[in-house]
Amino acid sequence: MIFPLLAPERADEFQLRVSKARLAMSDAGVDALLVASTVNIFYLTGGVCRGYVYLPVEGEPLFFVIPPAAPSAPVMRAIRKPEQIPGMLEAEGYTLPERVGLEFDDLLYSDVERLRKVFPASEVRDGSTPLRAARLTKTPLEISMMKTDGMKQCAVYSRIDRCYEEDMTDLEFQIEIERVLRKEGCLGYLRVAGSRMEINMGSVIAGPNADAPSPYDFSMGGAGVDPSLPVGASGTIMKPGMTVMVDMNGGFNGYQTDMTRCWYLGDVPELAVRAHECSRAILRDLESFARPGVEIGEMYRRAVRMAEETGLSAYFMGHGHKAGFIGHGVGIQLNEAPVVMERNKSLLQENMTIALEPKFVIPGTGAVGVENTYVVRPGGLENITAFREQLVQLV
């Protein structure tokens, strides 16, 4: 197994991430984190294995790995089970933590309870919050990895027109797009935070399916094709008069970009075209308005206001039912902090990476709108999924 951040040439990056986590640990009042989730082990080491990163506020972090992983860097130690960790820490001169952080939002209940017993004398506090805080802004390496995702995702989107054949269903269209994605290097697996999302390669939504309610926290739901996975393409045959929204997986390297573009068949009502252009206008507005220090909720309110002023409120972020956000952080997970919603009073920070997706559902026609992934820069938002945004006819 490979842990790129533990390689000598990545020592600075490892230290940077450790420093960011430590800053947040002090705020959370924990002396050490015992990190066990795949996403946070990947964040701290650049790789995935069964094991635990022990990250004290002071002193060297250690990475305890379980076979088949074996130590391959100075900070790595071999264990068979987590119960060995305290003894090994003490043998190396560490003081066991008074307050240890475990990932309440990233681990199963039974996993946290097992790890709690590993440190019987320690008070257990939430370790997910400081790690989420560390991951809220991205390092230059993370941003460069996400730019790679964006370039590959744009390359795939440039080939979507050619995936279409007449009388296809939305699902058949999606399957051809999946293949192009996979051939470009998409890993085909999206990590999501929490328990309110289940998704594979993304979502293609044609016509009225755009307004079908889904139990998941996606901006546009879709009914899916089976009650066991009620999301996305529904098997709708794509017909003239429909729009088709493509919001497919942009994960190529453990990070991802999130990107939506729309197509249409035959003629669609002027209302759909106007709504699509309003989405683009909202993005243009937010790209220059949003910068470090701006209240995140204000982005949401500006978008809502622009939809209102264009007379499109009834369609904004859904028609029959509405999503309560217009964007979200993205990185290792598809749905990271911050959520761009009305009541988010926190401020944008430089090097946050956020997807903005002001979308509309036009009854009888389908969804329209554009989603891009951005890096928050001092002067505004940098679009890392820059690609043709127009509604394009599928022929």
CA distances from 32 to 83, 260, 392 (A): 16, 40, 52
Contacts of 199 (CB under 8 A, 6+ apart): 190, 192, 216, 218, 231, 232, 334
Return the residue of 81, 117, 179, 388 that touches a copy of itself, per CB under 8 A: 179
Min dist CB 286 to a copy of itself, Å, is: 27
Whose Cβ is closer to a copy of itself: residue 93's or residue 110's? Answer: 110
Interface region with a copy of itself, contact rule CB under 8 A, candidates 52-60, 110-118, 130-138, 274-282 = 110-118
Measured from the CB atom, the residue of 58 and 226 that comes closer to a copy of itself is 226
Task: Produce one character per residue of 164-198: b if its CB has 16 or more CB atoms within 10 Å, e if not.
Answer: beeebbbbbbbebbbebbeeeebeeebbbbeeebe
- Among 148, 365, 387, 166, which residue's Cα sits nearest to residue 261? 387
Q: How far apart are CA 260 and CA 246, in angstroms?
A: 5
The site map against a copy of itself for 181-200 (x = CB under 8 A) is: -xx-x-xxx-x--xxx-xxx
Six token digits for residue 87? 């003894």
**Cα–Cα distance, 395 to 389 (Å, whole number):** 17
What minimum distance in Å lies between the beta carbon of 274 and a copy of itself?
Answer: 26
Binding window for a copy of itself (CB under 8 A); candidates: 14-22, 79-87, 167-175, 373-381: 167-175
Judged by CB under 8 A, does residue 178 bind a copy of itself? yes
Q: If you ran DSSP here, which 8-state letter would residue 254 be given?
A: S
Among 27, 60, 67, 295, binds a copy of itself (CB under 8 A): 67
With a CB cutoff of 8 Å and minimum separation 6, the contacts of 56 are 31, 32, 94, 97
CB of 88 to a copy of itself, least distance (A): 20
Under the binding rule (CB under 8 A), the answer on residue 159 touching a copy of itself is no
341 alpha-carbon distance from chain centroid = 16
Q: Which of 104, 159, 364, 393 binds a copy of itself (CB under 8 A)?
A: 104
User: Pick from 12, 83, 113, 350: which binds a copy of itself (CB under 8 A)?
Assistant: 113
Nearest to 55 by CA among 98, 93, 101: 101
Contacts of 273 (CB under 8 A, 6+ apart): 368, 391
Identity of the residue, 61 or 331, whose beta carbon is nearer to a copy of itself in the bound complex: 331
* Closest distance to a copy of itself from the beta carbon of 60 (Å): 22
Print the binding letters for residues 241-260 with a copy of itself: x by CB under 8 A, - otherwise: -----------xxx------
SS3 203: strand
Cis ω before 292 (30° cut-off from 0): no
Side-chain half-sphere CA neighbours of 349 within 13 A: 14
| Smallest distance from a copy of itself to CB 301, Å | 23
| Cα gap 187→249, rounded to integer Å | 9
Each residue 12-51 as x (binds a copy of itself by CB under 8 A) or -, in order, gives -------------------------xx---x---xxxxxx
Per-residue binding string, a copy of itself, 214-233, x by CB under 8 A, is xx-----x---xxxxxx---
Distance of CA 153 to the CA centre of its chain: 14
The correct pick among 106, 170, 357, 389 for binding a copy of itself (CB under 8 A) is 106
* 125: nearest Cα among 99, 95, 105: 99
CA distances from 149 to 190, 259, 301 (A): 13, 10, 29
Give the residue with the Cβ less far from a copy of itself, 48 or 151. 48
Looking at the Cβ atoms of 143 and 290, the one nearer to a copy of itself is 143
- C-beta of 36 vs 268, nearer to a copy of itself: 36
246 pairs with which residues across the strands? 204, 261
Residues 316-345 that bind a copy of itself (CB under 8 A): 321
Total chain residues near a copy of itself (CB under 8 A): 64
Draw the binding track, 283-322, toward a copy of itself (x: CB under 8 A; -: no contact).
--------------------------------------x-
> Where on the chain is the footprint of a copy of itself (CB under 8 A)?
1-4, 37-38, 42, 46-51, 67-69, 102-113, 126, 128, 171-172, 175-176, 178-179, 182-183, 185, 187-189, 191, 194-196, 198-201, 213-215, 221, 225-230, 252-254, 321
